[in-house]
Homo-oligomer: A and B are copies of this chain.
Amino acid sequence: MESDQSDKFIPTPRTTLKRRPQRAEYDRAAVYRILDEAFICHVGFIVDSRPVVIPTAYGRLGDLLYIHGSAASRMLRTLAEGVDVCVAVTLVDGFVLARSAFHHSINYRSVVVFGRAYVVEDEAEKNTALRVFTDHLTPGRWADVREPNEQELKATLVLALPLEEVSAKIRTGPPIDDDEDHALDVWAGLLPLSLTAGPPIDDPLLRSGIDVPDYVAGYARGRENTEQTE
């Protein structure tokens, strides 16, 4: 199958945008950039015929999205059964402030994945997934820390969700006001927003003489899309 992998995800009825199709993005690289910049996903699944949405962190390796947690987690145990799941990832890039209330909007980049996850049983792949996950949040961290021991690996459930039925939705650019509203005496424009790191805080139990590592002190999540132009 891998040799068949194209540069674009193939739209399905579920991933085809009916409204504002110009905001749809199926390019694999563009989708991966969003998934690689964000790190929290919202996982939707069905319990007793009703929807449940739970936030969790994730990592990506190739066309797999990894999530993990305690082997006792209800969400993970449910997903481990191979049920239908929908995962959404959203980055907010800023407020779009128009002259009319109606045309206010948000610049954002979001990805929605439909599929079924499976349990990663192989111990080496499990360890790899945890490395990917850890370095997805703080690149460089894995090399510094104590790796999971056998007991910890056993207590951890790792799930992989294949990235097959996937779409992104992107809004960029300035407000789009009605022509007649341009004459109004109202400021209009963009207010950019981004997730930024503050100064690191030492663990109260930190041994003296251990400095904050560079990958923490200089932390910034990469953004390719800073210009917010259409």
Q: Tell me which residues from 99 to 113 in chain A have a Cβ below 8 Å from any Cβ of chain B.
A: 99-102, 104, 106, 108, 110, 112
Q: Verify if A192 is at the interface (C-beta below 8 Å from B).
A: yes
B182 contacts A102, CB within 8 Å? Answer: no
A97 contacts B141, CB within 8 Å? Answer: yes
B57 contacts A53, CB within 8 Å? Answer: no
Per the bound structure, the CA–CA distance linking A2 and B185 in Å amounts to: 42
B88 contacts A42, CB within 8 Å? Answer: yes
Residues of A within 8 A of B (CB): 14, 18-19, 40, 42-47, 49-55, 57, 70, 72-74, 84-88, 90, 92, 94-95, 97-102, 104, 106, 108, 110, 112, 114, 130-131, 134, 137-138, 141-142, 144-149, 152, 156, 174-175, 177, 181-207, 210-213, 216, 219, 228
